């Protein structure tokens, strides 16, 4: 009993120290932010960053979303069984002006990407596309089978004037303890929340190339890569996951930038997944706490290796793409 008390005491101190260290976060500082723009003209492609690697992409007629994670479970809750928060989901959708969506493209099946996807698909009428693991999450959310697409890599999926290509990618390396906790395998059974965080295993990670006559882009939901996979595509905008990139070696950072923004020839790099996704999404959402990521190191890893613009999109603020520089479609 005495031993159990000591363990409990040590655990409480650990939790206290951890929660204290989570109070300190860097700021966006002087990193260039996208200026407010007039509303896009019909047919122009606009992006709205909605935290983590959740991005709304619209041409005014067709509306796409990546991931759609809005529950943003707090850190203490991560140690319990977690579940989507419908109130938060609805609030974020309202604030972003989303009522219908054509497709939700899931970039991998960790909780901070896929947990809400099936529910958002249900609420907005969207088709949910992703790996076989993500499909299991959709099923667990009660989404009808015909609304779930298990994707093939490099295959064109068309929605209105948009074409989506899912490209094999890796996940940013995490410390072993975190990797074991969050799950690196495949999901083989429907996930029925509430469930422990590890139920949402990574599955296949993708980079997503989206082409449209009014603008092409790449979204890399984690700072990982698979060499050569993006070489056949062109995209002017590369939206790259920032979290944990600053903790990787110089060689890794160089490889990541060459295999993503470099491979598609992007003129503009936009970081995503830099926000503290353990708190509610607001227009002024803070970056991840220091103990989890060093924003400056992660942003420098991208900006210093990119010969072009580097731009931060504040959440909920629409950003209109310039038309493509290369006139040809990038279909492989
Ligand atoms: Zn992940």
CA of 174 to the centre of ligand 1 (A): 9
CA of 92 to the centre of ligand 1 (A): 21
CA of 309 to the centre of ligand 1 (A): 26
CA of 46 to the centre of ligand 1 (A): 25
CA of 112 to the centre of ligand 1 (A): 7
Residue given tokens 């992007």 in the structure block: 266
CA of 111 to the centre of ligand 1 (A): 8
pLDDT for position 186: 97
CA of 135 to the centre of ligand 1 (A): 16
pLDDT for position 8: 82
Domain ranges of the chain: 41-320
CA of 172 to the centre of ligand 1 (A): 8
CA of 258 to the centre of ligand 1 (A): 21
Share of the chain above pLDDT 90, in %: 88
pLDDT for position 198: 96
The residue count of the chain comes to 332
CA of 251 to the centre of ligand 1 (A): 21
The CATH superfamily of 41-320 is Ribonuclease Z/Hydroxyacylglutathione hydrolase-like (3.60.15.10)
In 68-99, which positions are buried (b, 16+ CB within 10 angstroms) versus exposed (e)? bbbbbbeeebeeeebbbbeebbeebbeebebe
pLDDT for position 331: 53
Beta bridge partners of 258: none
pLDDT for position 317: 98
CA of 207 to the centre of ligand 1 (A): 13
pLDDT for position 74: 96
pLDDT for position 125: 98
CB-proximal residues (5 Å) to ion ligand 1: 110
Residues with pLDDT less than 70, the chain:
1, 16, 18-23, 326-332
Taking CA atoms, 311 is separated from 31, 32, 71, 96, 163, in Å, by 8, 5, 26, 20, 24
CA of 78 to the centre of ligand 1 (A): 14
């Amino acid at each position: 009993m005495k031993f159990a008390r000591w363990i409990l005491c040590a655990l409480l101190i650990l939790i206290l120290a951890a929660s204290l260290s989570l109070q300190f976060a860097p700021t966006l500082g002087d990193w260039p932010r996208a200026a407010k723009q007039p509303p896009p003209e019909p047919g122009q492609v606009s992006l709205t960053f909605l935290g983590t690697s959740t991005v709304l992409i619209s041409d005014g007629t067709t509306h796409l979303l990546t991931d759609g994670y809005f529950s943003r479970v707090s850190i203490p809750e991560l140690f319990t069984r977690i579940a989507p928060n419908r109130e938060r989901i609805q609030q974020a959708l309202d604030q972003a002006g989303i009522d219908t969506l054509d497709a939700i493209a899931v970039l991998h099946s960790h909780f901070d990407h896929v947990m809400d996807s099936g529910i958002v698909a249900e609420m907005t009428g969207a088709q949910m596309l992703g790996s076989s693991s993500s499909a299991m999450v959709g099923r667990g959310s009660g989404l009808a089978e015909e609304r779930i697409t298990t994707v093939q890599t490099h295959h064109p999926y068309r929605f209105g004037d948009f074409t989506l290509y899912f490209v094999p990618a890796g996940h940013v390396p995490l410390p072993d303890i975190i990797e074991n906790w969050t799950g690196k395998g495949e999901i083989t059974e429907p996930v029925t929340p509430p469930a422990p965080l590890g139920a949402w295993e990574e599955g296949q990670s993708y980079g997503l190339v989206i082409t449209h006559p009014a603008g092409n882009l790449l979204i890399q939901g984690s700072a990982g890569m698979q060499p050569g996979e993006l070489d056949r595509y062109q995209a002017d905008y590369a939206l790259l996951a920032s979290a944990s990139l600053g903790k990787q070696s110089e060689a890794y950072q160089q490889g990541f930038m060459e295999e993503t923004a470099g491979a598609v020839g992007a003129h503009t790099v936009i970081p995503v997944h830099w926000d503290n996704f353990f708190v509610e999404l607001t227009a002024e959402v803070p970056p991840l706490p220091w103990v989890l990521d060093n924003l400056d190191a992660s942003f420098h890893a991208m900006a210093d290796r990119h010969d072009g613009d580097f731009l931060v999109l504040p959440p909920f603020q629409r950003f209109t793409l310039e038309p493509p520089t290369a006139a040809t479609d990038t279909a492989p």
